[in-house]
Amino acid sequence: MYYLVPTEAKSLRERYEEVDGVRLRYFVGGEGPPLVLVHGLGGAASNWVELAPLLATRFRLLVPELAGHGRSAPLRSARSLDAFAEQVAALMAREGMSSAAVVGHSLGGTIALRLAVLRPELVSALVLAAPAGITSSTSTAANVITMLVISRPGRAVSPFRSVIAARKPLRYPAFWWWQVSDPAAFSPRAVEGFLEGPGLHEDIATAGRALIGHDPRPYLEDVQCPVLVLWGARDRLVPLADGFDFARRLRAPLLVIADCAHLLIGERPEACAAAIQECLDGVLDLDELPGVAEVLRQVR
């Protein structure tokens, strides 16, 4: 499995935990202060395949698969995203993380926000990579989300991920223009990492329904911890205007990363890692972090 990438720290280890009757899969590994990585709608732990090795050299990672995603069992029902946030909290407790920084991508960013509001003592800092919730709360977006979670186009593509990873022209129909900025430049490892999950999912519709109509703006002022907002300059799925809105309401800096779209954590992992490390270095008062070039030498 591509996301079990060896690093200078120990490889990520697969674990399972039952939370309120739901069996969840997650991964842990790395050395240092705790850091939680939460994937987006239709994603999986493998989405962090490029970014996790860069972070595992400096942080102890917890990488959950949300209920219904990857090999995690589905929730029986979820009226809101709070159930997903509480499951992340339970996994943190299982791993002895009394407080941690949380990085969330897309839906994972919105879940991270809910965790910070519901359980502020657990979240020392937030890094939100193109979080969903503003544009996605509109009726038009609701129709698109409903169509995607019902049709699940990634499920048909997932069995051919190795072929797509090996042949650049095939990456265009697999990712189109709205997921990545330049499909041909998407690394083979990232291709496999983002296409593996759709072949494993049991139920992404529950998370999709919980996201529809969920507008985080009313509670953003309740977030107490430091926040960094990251956005791909060419994100056509969740518009950059949402990033400015999040940053303004959270009183947080917004870093726009060039040459990437919505899947910025896979397209520009080095830039994301540098931003995360710099943010947490100031927030958590860490020792001087290794430069990105040094980290790349360690993991590649």
At 143, the pLDDT band (50, 70, 90 cuts) reads: confident
pLDDT at residue 225, rounded to an integer: 97
Instruction: Please determine, for residue 149, whether its predicted confidence score (pLDDT) is greater than 50.
Output: yes
pLDDT, residue 290, reads 47
Note the pLDDT tens digit of each residue in 74-118: 998 888 999 999 999 999 999 999 999 999 999 999 999 999 999
Checking if the pLDDT of 8 tops 90, the result is no
What is the band of 297 on the pLDDT scale with cuts at 50, 70, 90? very low
Residue 288: is its pLDDT beyond 60?
Answer: no
When pLDDT is averaged across residues 273-293 and rounded to a whole number, the result is: 73
Q: Of 9, 3, 139, 156, which Cα lies nearest the Cα of 70?
A: 3
The one-letter amino acid at 43: G
Average pLDDT rounded to a whole number, residues 134-153: 76
Question: Which range among 119-123, 132-136, 145-149 shows the weakest confidence by mean pLDDT?
Answer: 145-149
| Residue 249 pLDDT greater than 50, yes or no | yes
CA–CA distance, 83 with 27 (Å, rounded to integer): 20
* Least confidently predicted of 97-106, 200-209, 258-267: 200-209
Question: Are the CB atoms for 43 and 105 separated by under 8 Å?
Answer: yes
